[in-house]
Amino acid sequence: MNKPASVPGQFDAVVVGAGFSGLYMLYRLRQLGLSVKVFDSAGDVGGTWYWNRYPGARCDIPTTDYAYSFDPDLEQEWTWSEKYATQPEILDYLRFVTDRHGLRSDIEFSTTVTSARWDEQEERWRITTDARKELRCRYYIMATGCLSVPKSPDIDGASRFAGRVYFTSRWPHEGADFTGQRVAVIGTGSSGIQSIPLIARQASQLTVFQRTANFSIPAHNGPASAERLKQLDEDREGYRHDARWSRGGIPLEPTDILGVTASESVRRERFEAAWAQGELFGILNVFADQGLNPASNDIVAEMIREKIRSIVTDPGAAEALSPKDHYFGTKRPCLDTGYFETFNLPHVRLVDLRKQPIVSVTEEGIDTADESFAFDALVYATGFDAMTGPLVAVDVAGRDGVSLREKWASGPSTYLGLMTAGFPNFFMLTGPGSPSVLSNMTVSIEQHVEWVTGCLKDLREAGFETIEPTALAESGWNQHVQDCAAITLHPTANSWYMGANVPGKPRFFLPYIGGVNAYRQACDDVVSQGYLGFRMTGPGGTRCRDGVIRRMQPDVAMVMELVAAMGLPPVDTLSAADARALMAAMAQTRPPGPEVGEVTDGVITGPGGDLPYRLYRPAGPPEGPRPLVVYFHGGGWVLGDLDSDDPLCRDLCARSGALVVSVNYRHAPEARFPAAALDAFAAVQWVDAHAAELGGIPGQLAVAGWSAGGNVATVACQLARDAGGPYLAGQVLICPVVDSDMTRLSYQENGEGYILTTALMRWFWDHYADPADRGDRRAAPLRGNLPGLPPTCIVAADFDPLRDEGVAYARALEAAGVSVRLARARGHTHTSVTMVGVVISGAPVRAEIAEALRNFFPNAAPQEPPS
């Protein structure tokens, strides 16, 4: 039972919303012994399942999974009748849970919270409702769901229609009878796609107005999956645990099969299995790369389009119903029961608004650019102001009276999707920046509720009364949320995930796409690091451990995990020969890099013998000579060859439009310092002398190199300057070795755990140069004479032990009057920027490198970046 308010009108917590999240929040807060008041504008519990009563409304996550897991007895007492339960059954379930735990007594229905203001003096929220009720609380929790504020009809004349108007999101409780009526449905998202087949059963004529064709797969509804029921019966707790630590909130083994490399038969088999299964997470897991790689995505998309064409008999309608303007999964895909089949019925018509847009709603019906339609009823299935809409619907004002609406004017900003700076003790359940709508909501809801409960308990035990994220932690999280989205195809779509469905709403990827498991880990890590990024205050003082919980690019983190899982021996424990063999074996499995026009191999005569080179010529126009870049591979002067950096050279060539000449140089320990540096200088001289026959423009020459290759590249620059030539237009140094001092902060921060370790760097130096030689400017070019060097682009990666020497070199060059561009590889390691086709987040850095190269050569032709 709830603790009553000790002072009338004053509660420990106010919760807004009595759906899945609000009910569970109330249950947990009571267990903490807090006094709680829950408000909901609806007349009963249920949240989204109270309002969305349109015909055909069902969940689209199997009900075995779309349910609470916190109460094992409840799980035994409730049996779902179908794989995907109907709205009435889910509503019954929520009522059952409410009554089972006696929650109703603390909920005030038909009451809307209109404003919430933080009172700085009292450190309380002042809450006002539409019943003019005022109350105060310490904790204010929004459990208002992600899709609860319907989008108002943004169609001219919407109010003029004289017939009956329905919104799928506000369906009348008494239902609607369309028998014998001419009905229009506007919108073909999940709500439209679920309701259209049932409305078609009653209506005498049904006209569907479609702006964007949507991907949908058959739900194959029926009894719950026998396999899943068996799993639950055998080990319910294990099953729920796996769900909590899965990517989407349902136990599922993510595939590692890539669409682009799978055989045709494997592609077909995987797709047909997912189609037959009828589950969203299954069809989103046909290939590991379908959410990232357009080519892979298109394989799945085309197979769905084939299915649509095989179902819909009218080829024109089939074509119009086949989505082509967005990648599969970037708008929420739908599950249907007979949706596409409905368009084979003689009384159902599809109007493609891309061909004939709506001009206006009229008294009688709808006018499009080409036709006037008359209707008896109009159904809007036009969606929601998703994720942010419900939160800013209340006039929330935090510190200094700043409103949430103002703070979020250009997009939401949260820490973990749970809180936002400037709004102490204000919690959001499944807020923007959390997995929410991309996951099985019930799992995400339980995780959020439990996190908030744990937090309030910890605060109380430590004697704190307020909690609020710091600006640094919040901006770090926002960045991470956007980084996660940026490596996927999602930001390309005009989806409600991007806020694109609401005119004027800022374009901003709203949910967290890094996965339920990764997200849960981040939330847990915040707690185990003493509430990292939160400021807590109370009578006992203030505690704040400021910081950013996830700084690494998500795909870099994934690669790191994969490499760790391989259990490879540390390279610094191997012989040079074994290390080379390991590197060569690893290179076999990576993508080849982009196509270029031509690749030819040749040999340069160097000071110590032949030096193999590989020449990359860009594809396409212009014909004729191009600027030249001499490139030196990485590998600590010990490892690497023309093959090791082949994908990177292709990428540099394709992006910059320059000829790239990758030159191998003598390696240590067979040829120690200064062999590599001398070879590099000799190679630059040779390429300069042979520019025309290589197809280059004489005099338009730059150098580039990664890691130890950056070392020899810049040493070659210094030697060329001292020798009075060749003239070099610029140098690009990617995470270069420029000094032998291994005590810099970046060594301390990143010397372990990021592939290039301090131990490995020591191994490289030991192989390459005697300690007495390591201060020589041809080994440590940072110690050289720097004036007169060409314009320079240096890439410094956050998690690289060499980061600070790269930065120091940039500063020293600047001080010597050299033009320098320092490109920060945010969230990258020493090796990740160069992992072409593997680490997608490295692409913008390589684009910056290519731009720097093009700028070295003023007459170079601009290039299209490789896809």
Q: What is the DSSP letter of 864?
A: P
Q: Which is nearer to ligand NAP, 327 or 686 (CB)?
A: 327
Q: Quick one: which of 41, 190, 322, 731 contacts ligand NAP (CB under 6 A)?
A: 190
User: Which residues in the 663-722 window bind ligand NAP by CB under 6 A?
Assistant: none
Paired tokens of 310: 């095989």
The only residue of 16, 94, 147, 789 in contact with ligand NAP, by rule CB under 6 A: 147
| Cis geometry, peptide bond prior to residue 674 (ω within 30 degrees of 0) | yes
Pairing of strands 541-544, 534-538: antiparallel
Which one of residues 38, 97, 135, 186 is an interface residue with ligand NAP (CB under 6 A)?
186
Q: Which is nearer to ligand NAP, 165 or 260 (CB)?
A: 165
330 binds ligand NAP (CB under 6 A): no
Q: Segment near ligand NAP (CB under 6 A), from 91-99, 181-189, 310-318, 658-666?
A: 181-189
Work out how close the CB of 447 gets to ligand NAP at its nearest, in angstroms, rounded to a whole number: 19
Residue 155 is a binding residue for ligand NAP (CB under 6 A): yes
Residue 3 beta carbon to ligand NAP: minimum distance, rounded to whole angstroms: 35
End-to-end Cα separation, the chain, in angstroms: 60
DSSP calls for 118-175: EETTTTEEEEEETT--EEEEEEEEE---SS-SBPP--STTGGG--SEEEEGGG--TT-
Number of residues that bind ligand NAP (CB under 6 A): 27
Cβ closest to ligand NAP, residue 153 vs residue 635: 153
Residues 373-432 binding ligand NAP (CB under 6 A) are: 381-384
Kindly tell me which residue out of 77, 99, 120, 154 binds ligand NAP, with binding defined by CB under 6 A: 154
Q: Which of 207, 212, 430, 832 binds ligand NAP (CB under 6 A)?
A: 212
Q: Which residues from 494-523 bind ligand NAP, rule CB under 6 A?
A: 496, 501
Report the chain's C-alpha Rg in angstroms.
31
Q: Give the residue among 223, 209, 506, 260 at the shortest CA–CA distance from 378.
A: 209
C-beta closer to ligand NAP: residue 215 or 686? 215
For the CB of residue 14, give the shortest distance to ligand NAP in the complex, in Å.
26
Q: From residue 159 to residue 178, what is the string marking binding to ligand NAP with x (rule CB under 6 A)?
A: ---------x----------
335 - beta bridge partners?
217
Binding mask 49-78 for ligand NAP (x = CB under 6 A): ---------xxx------------------
Among 69, 191, 337, 447, binds ligand NAP (CB under 6 A): 191
Q: Is residue 187 involved in binding ligand NAP (CB under 6 A)? A: yes
**Percent helix, strand, coil in the chain (nearest 5)?**
35, 20, 45
CB of 348 to ligand NAP, least distance (A): 17
Q: How far is the CB of 159 from ligand NAP (least distance, A)?
A: 14
Stretch that binds ligand NAP, among 8-16, 185-193, 578-586, 780-788 (CB under 6 A): 185-193
Pairwise CA distance, residues 281 & 247, whole Å: 10
Tell the smallest beta-carbon distance from residue 558 to ligand NAP (Å): 26
DSSP labels, 222-257: SSPPHHHHHHHHH-HHHHHHHHHTSSSSS-------
User: CB within 8 A of 657, min separation 6: which ones?
Assistant: 618, 626, 627, 854, 860, 861, 862, 863
Please report whether residue 453 would count as binding ligand NAP according to CB under 6 A: no
Give residues 717-746 in contact with ligand NAP (rule: CB under 6 A). none
- Looking at the Cβ atoms of 89 and 572, the one nearer to ligand NAP is 89
- Smallest distance from the beta carbon of 349 to ligand NAP, in angstroms? 16
Q: Residue 389 Cβ, how far from ligand NAP at the closest point, in Å?
A: 12
| Interface stretch with ligand NAP, choices 206-214, 426-434, 473-481, 528-536 (CB under 6 A) | 206-214
Check binding of 332 to ligand NAP (CB under 6 A). yes
Residue with tokens 């500063």: 811
- Nearest distance from residue 509's CB to ligand NAP, in Å? 15
Q: How far is it, in rounded angstroms, from Cα 627 to Cα 290?
A: 37
Site stretch for ligand NAP (CB under 6 A), options 184-192, 283-291, 389-397, 507-515: 184-192
> How many alpha carbons fall within 13 Å on the CB side of residue 301?
21
What is the dihedral sign for C-alpha 637, 641, 644, 646? positive
What does each C-alpha distance from 854 to 282, 716, 727, 825, 849 come to in angstroms? Answer: 44, 20, 17, 19, 9
Give the x-and-dash track for 456-495 against ligand NAP (CB under 6 A). Answer: ----------------------------------------
561 is a site residue for ligand NAP (CB under 6 A): no
Residue 32 CA to residue 30 CA, distance in Å, equals 5
- Residue whose CB is nearest to ligand NAP in the complex, by number: 189
Dump the DSSP string for 470-534.
-HHHHHHHHHHHHHHHHTSSGGGS--GGGTTTSTT------S--S-HHHHHHHHHHHHHTTSTTE
CA dist 512 and 530 (Å) reads 23
- Cα(333)–Cα(437) distance, rounded to whole angstroms? 12
Point out which span in 91-99, 209-217, 716-724, 821-829 binds ligand NAP (CB under 6 A): 209-217
> Of the ranges 204-212, 576-584, 731-739, 778-786, which one interacts with ligand NAP (CB under 6 A)?
204-212
d(CA 416, CA 28): 20
Q: Do you know the residue count of the chain?
A: 867
Please, which residue, 207 or 707, has the CB nearer to ligand NAP? 207
Tokens matching residue 297: 């995505």
Using CB under 6 A as the criterion, which residues of the chain lie in contact with ligand NAP when the complex forms?
58-60, 147, 154-155, 168, 186-192, 194, 209, 211-212, 332, 353, 381-384, 437, 496, 501
